[in-house]
Structures are given as C-alpha cells and as structure tokens.
Amino acid sequence: DGLLVSHGKKWFRHRRLLTPGFHYDVLKPYVNLMADCTKTMLDKWETYANKDESFELFEHVSLMTLDSIMKCAFSCETNCQIESGTNSYIQAVYELSYLINLRFRTFPYHSDTLFYLSPHGYRFRKASKIAHDHTEEVIRKRKEALKDENELGRIQKKRNLDFLDILLCARDEQQEGLSDEAIRAEVDTFMFEGHDTTASGISWILYCLACHPEHQQRCRQEDLSKIPYTTLCVKESLRLYPPVPGTSRKLTKPMTFFDGRTVPEGCLIGTSVYGIHRNATVWENPHVFDPSRFLPENSAKRSPHAFIPFSAGPRNCIGQNFAMNEMKVAVALTLRRYQLEKDPERIPKKIPRLVLRSLNGIHLKIKRVEIEP
C-alpha cells in the first residue's frame, strides 16, 4: 500500500515525507552507483561484441536496473547481475513482476477471491512472503543500528543516503515518522515501480539509437558531465516508447469534458500515454524519431501535458529524476563503449502491458568503439 496505490490523507502525508528524498542533492551521489552497475552490464556484453549476431538486451538491462535500485535503496551488494539465479529475493522480485502483469491482463484474476484461490495466487503469496521477509529484515537491522545515537548522526550527515535511511529519518510537523509497515510498503513500491519501468525505458532508447545510428556519434562526443543531446534522444525515445503506456484515475467527483459530456463520480478514467505521445495534431510526423522536438525553442509553445512519460499532476512519478538520471547514465556509457545496430530479422513487437515490452524481446548487435581521450 505504497504511494502508487494509496490515496487521501495517507497518500498526501507519505508523498510529503518522501519528496525530500528525491531532491537533486540526494540523488546526485547515486549517479556513481548507477555508473558502476552499468559498467558491470557492459563488461558482460563483451561476449557479444563484434559478432555478426544479435542478443536480447532487456534481460540484461532489467538486472542492471535492479542491481542499481538495490544499491540505492538498501546500500546492498547483491551481485545480482552475475548471480541472479541464486538470490531468493531477486527471484521473488521477478516472480512478482510476472504475476502482477499476468493478473492485470487476466480478467477473472481481477477478483481477489479467484486470484488467491488459483495456483498463480499461491505463487504470488509465496513470492510476496520472501520479498516482505527480506525487506523487514533489512529494516530491522537498520533500525537496530540507529538506536546508537552516534550511528544516527553519522547516517544523517553522510552524503550518500540510501532510500531506507531517508524513510527511517523522515518526520512530519509533529515529529512523527513512518511505521515499519509503511516503510516496507514504500521500499517495495520503489523496487517494483522503479526497476522494470526504467529497464523498459533504457531498452527502447538503445533500440531507437540502433535504428538511427546518425545520432549515436553526436551523443558519443559529448562531455559526460553535460549531455544535452543525449538527453534529447532519451526524451524522444520516451515519447515514442513510454515505459508506462497508459494510466488510470478513479474520479472523486463528476468530470465534464469540453464537449459537454459528463462522467459520474466513481468511474475509472483511462488515459493512453502512448496515444497522447503520437497525437498528430500535436506532433508533426509523430512516428518519426526526431530529438530536435525537445529543443527549448520547439517545446516552448507545446502543452506540458503533450509529453507525460511520468504522468502529470500531483500524482506524477516521484522518482522521475532518479529514473532520468539512470537512463542518461546508462545510455551515455553504453554509447562510449559500443556502436549499436538493429537486427532486421528481429524487429520488436510491442505488447500492451503495465510496462511497455516486446513480445519477441529487443535484439541488437554491438561493436566496440574507441573514444579519443
């Protein structure tokens, strides 16, 4: 029951407590952790370099983003990119991601009773227990350490706070913090909402650049501390391939559209982010990859709601700056080591899920490149 699904006063309080944890100064030290995780992934890719055959990259990217979030959330070294098959928590995370998607697209499973009586519901409860037990144990150990006032002072002063530190130290106006149950819910939300969506974003960005190699060299020539053109490419890919292709809201009051039609309170309103991003009345040649759309002079007159990869309004994605940082780091470091080429025999087939995926995976070929010092 974290930020993603909570509402009302509970959501408002949690959002206010968590927002400082995603401030620029807090996120900045995470960049080095993200870079380390990306380099581990790129080292693994050496096996595929300079071969005239493609490989499926989403699985690699997903492990990398999970590794990154584990480091940023728990300060935890899991080696999950190398030993993913032996870590019960990592396996539980993947099992839950699969089952949540399965439940979303299986109508009878929308009923709690039918889902939890099914074999998939049993698997869901089993994986949930593993994930919850792991999170609770990490919280217990960290709280035990915080009983030492010196340790609390050290954590509050250290530059590289992890997400768990921030949750444990968060206080409202009455100096009340979050309960252990609330902390667990927010950590689990951060894990599940963060790793799969960011992995989707990075995978589709690399695919776009493989399809349009003329943009790769320009990105490659940028100073890594300032990557404006890479950022334009990231945004254009997020427009064409939004990691969360749709969102919905339950109306708390009646809503009247511009043509006079009214939708009553209590209805669910679905919004196609994918459709908004390809709206021909807003975007010229909407299916064409054109990073220049996001130059300041081209985006100034455009509605801020024409581009919503992280949703919009008060319930927008609290971790959007974290995700953007990770995507930019991953793309910049990948391009400095490899030239990306698409596989014309394996064009991705987009499928509508909670997170935008490809039915047949995302396959690329890579070649090593040399960057002049």
Annotated binding site: 317
Q: What's the CA gap between 135 and 69, in Å, rounded?
A: 13
Structure tokens at 321: 């700056």
The neighbouring-strand residues paired with 213 are none
170 vs 17: CA distance, rounded Å: 6
Q: What is the C-alpha separation between 260 and 270, in angstroms, rounded?
A: 18
- Nearest to residue 310, comparing CAs of 202, 149, 187, 197? 197
Side by side, which strands form the sheet with 338-342? 55-56, 363-368, 338-342
Residue list for the binding site for heme: 317
Would you give the distance in Å from CA 33 to the centre of its chain? 16
Write the CB contacts of 104 (distance below 8 Å, at least 6 apart in sequence): 353, 354
CB 346 within 8 A of CB 211: no
Judge residue 326's burial from the number of C-beta atoms within 10 Å of its C-beta, 0-12 exposed, 13-18 middle, 19 or more buried: buried
Q: In 106-241, which ranges are continuous DSSP H helix?
A: 112-117, 119-146, 149-157, 163-169, 180-211, 216-220, 228-240
Please answer whether residues 309 and 181 qualify as being in contact, where contact means their C-beta atoms are separated by less than 8 angstroms: no
Query: For residue 234, what are the CA distances in angstroms to 21, 53, 240?
Result: 24, 26, 10
CA 245/CA 236 separation, integer angstroms: 15
Cβ count within 10 A of residue 53: 8
Task: Output the DSSP codes for 273-325.
Answer: HHHHHT-TTTSSSTTS--GGGGSHHHHTTS-GGG--BTB-STTS-TTHHHHHH
